[in-house]
Amino acid sequence: MPLRSENIEKMPREELNKLQSKRLVEQVKRCYERVECFRNRMDEKGLKPQDIKGIEDLHKLPFSYKKDLRDYYPYGLFAEPMENIVRLHASSGTTGKRIVVGYTENDLEMWAECFARMFTSVGVTKNDIVQISFGYGLFTGGFGAHAGAQRMGATVVPMSSGNTALQIQTLIDFGVTVLCCTPSYAMYLAEEIERMGVKDKLKLRIGIFGAEPWSENMRSEIESKLSIKAYDIYGLSEVLGPGVACECEYQSGMHIWEDHFLVEIINPDTGEVLPEGETGELVFTSLTKEAFPVIRYRTRDICSLITEPCICGRTHIKMRKPSGRSDDMLIIRGVNVFPSQIEEVLLNVSGNHITPNYQIIVDRVNNNDTFDVNVEMSESFFTDDIKSIERLERAITEQLRSSLGIGAKVHLVNPKSIIRSEGKATRVIDNRKGKI
Ligand code: DLL
């Protein structure tokens, strides 16, 4: 698939729509032939690939969901044989099973291209030194940003996340000019830099932050603390990773790279496509992905689109910052966490020492997420022997860490002390609202 086209970012709308239609028709045919789940859904609707003649027929296609990735775990939704898959990444699923996504060589090329567009549109050049402090590994952040920076010829510093003292030392010693990480980590770094009094040793000028919600207030704080321009980048593993959409120099919404991704906004309850400008759930169709293409993928991110032309001249539509989710996924320190994952760990704790009554409390203190899990002891275990309580708390903490990939503070609480509600249990208390 030809990926790089000089004028693709500013392609006239009509031409862009033509390209999308052509790619959609090809992608639907490919998926119908190669992906059982998609073929079955099309058949259930009495649809054949030839019924899809262009983007005007998009709404006829069936939706796909995160649950599909669990049901077809790990590779059942891939449209290429494993010999053509050159990379796997993974993200949290709603239970212990992660979701797994695959990439062909061409997919990695396209990903690098999408991320490179972000860098160029905010003024990063070959002369920049880019520190990538997103996690490297199964999370898509590190490798995604890395490939994009390398593609545009900048100097890459593949730091990965963690070890704040070394991060700051590297920023200073290597003369880093561009920082990529989660906004909450950027804020934490900024505070540490302030505390250490080393801000004047930095050469930073641009920050590219994403993977979790962040507000305009937070942007201004980061910008002023680090004396940089901070830009937002959006993406999700199921669709690509970071780089599905990103801000340009005008910081007024994130351009969705529409030559690769078709976007819709739907009513999350009815599935109906909403008129331009309305707020609803983001739905993506990948037009060029080979290994793991998604058709009408329900992201659960609540958002609206900006259709007015951007001053930068790019014709690709923009999305506003997502304002929330239509499911119960939490993003804690940049990591996706579903309450059901925690429940699954608790149910598997042996010895009948705890009950499945728990409460997750998330807060933001000094711009850092705190994550506490209160778990009720069972009547039979109930004890004031602090040592056995602490031992069990440590064991649960470890199990949660290995399942979720981040640390929580576990507190064993007295039997029946978590307030029961009349209807659905209140499993999550998220006190971060208004603090982000
Ligand atoms: O978070 C990919 C990514 C990495 C994006 C680095 C940007 C930078 P997942 O782990 O699959 O992928 O999580 C995807 O994170 O559905 C949103 O709910 C949330 N999210 C991602 N970017 C943003 C953003 C990566 N800029 C989920 N603002 C998505 C708000 C975001 N939420």
Flag whether 21 is in a domain: yes
Q: What is the pLDDT of residues 111-142, one digit of tens each?
A: 999 999 999 999 999 999 999 999 999 999 99
**CATH number reported for the structural domain that contains residue 43 in this entry:** 3.40.50.12780
- 209 CA distance to ligand 1 middle (Å): 10
pLDDT at 356: 74
Q: What is the per-residue burial (b if ≥16 Cβ within 10 Å, else e) of 119-139? A: bebbebeeebbbbbbbbbebb
Residue 383, token pair as written in the block: 């004890």
Query: What pLDDT is attached to residue 117?
Result: 96
Ligand 1 pocket test, pick from 218, 283, 301, 329 with the greatest ligand atom count within 8 Å of Cβ, gives 301
At residue 421, the pLDDT reads: 64
User: 336 C-alpha to center of ligand 1: Å?
Assistant: 9
Share of the chain above pLDDT 90, in %: 83
3-state helix, strand and coil shares in percent for the chain, rounded to the nearest 5: 35, 25, 40
Residue 6 clears pLDDT 60, i.e. is over it: no
In a domain, 410, yes or no: yes
One DSSP character per residue, 176-222 reads --EEEE-HHHHHHHHHHHHHHT-GGG----EEEEESS---HHHHHHH
> Which of 133, 212, 286, 325 gets mutated to test ligand 1 (max ligand atoms within 8 A of its CB)?
212
Tokens of 17: 């729509």
pLDDT at 363 over 70: yes
Mean pLDDT of the chain: 94
Q: Which atom of ligand 1 is nearest to the CA of 134?
A: 6
Q: pLDDT-based confidence at 343, cuts 50/70/90?
A: confident
Q: What is the predicted pLDDT for the residue at 436?
A: 74
- Closest residue (by CA) to atom 4 of ligand 1? 141
CATH code for position 340: 3.30.300.30
In a domain, 436, yes or no: no
**Global pTM value:** 0.91
Predicted confidence band of residue 368 (pLDDT cuts 50, 70, 90) = confident
Q: Distance, CA 234 to ligand 1 centroid (Å)?
A: 5
Going by alpha carbons, the residue nearest to atom 28 of ligand 1 is 213
435 domain-assigned? no
**Residue 227: which pLDDT band, with cuts at 50, 70 and 90?**
very high
* Whether the predicted pLDDT of 1 surpasses 90: no
Q: What is the pLDDT of residue 165?
A: 96
Is 184 found in the same domain as 73?
Answer: yes
Adjacent-strand bridge partners of 132? 180
Asked if the model's pLDDT at residue 277 lies above 70, the reply is yes
Q: Confidence class of residue 434 from pLDDT cuts 50, 70 and 90? A: confident
Whole-number Å distance, alpha carbon 386 to ligand 1 midpoint, is 40
d(CA 389, CA 395): 10
180, 254: one domain: yes
Residue-wise pLDDT for 215-224, tens only, equals 898 899 999 9
pLDDT the model gives residue 184: 87
Assess whether 347 and 400 both reside in one domain. yes
Domain that holds residue 30: 1-326
Q: Taking CA 180 as the corner, what is the angle to CA 223 and CA 366, rounded to the nearest 5 degrees? A: 55
- pLDDT tens for residues 384-430? 889 999 999 999 999 999 999 999 999 999 998 988 766 666 889 99
Confidence at residue 215, expressed as pLDDT on a 0 to 100 scale: 86
Predicted pLDDT of residue 217: 86
CA 111 / ligand 1 centre spacing (Å): 15
Whether 6 and 141 map to the same domain: the answer is yes
Looking at residue 39, its amino acid is R
Same domain, 210 and 246: yes
Q: How many domains does the chain contain in total?
A: 2
What value does the mean pLDDT take over residues 1-12? Answer: 69
Do 30 and 108 reside in the same domain of the chain? yes
Centroid of ligand 1 to alpha carbon of 347 (angstroms):
29
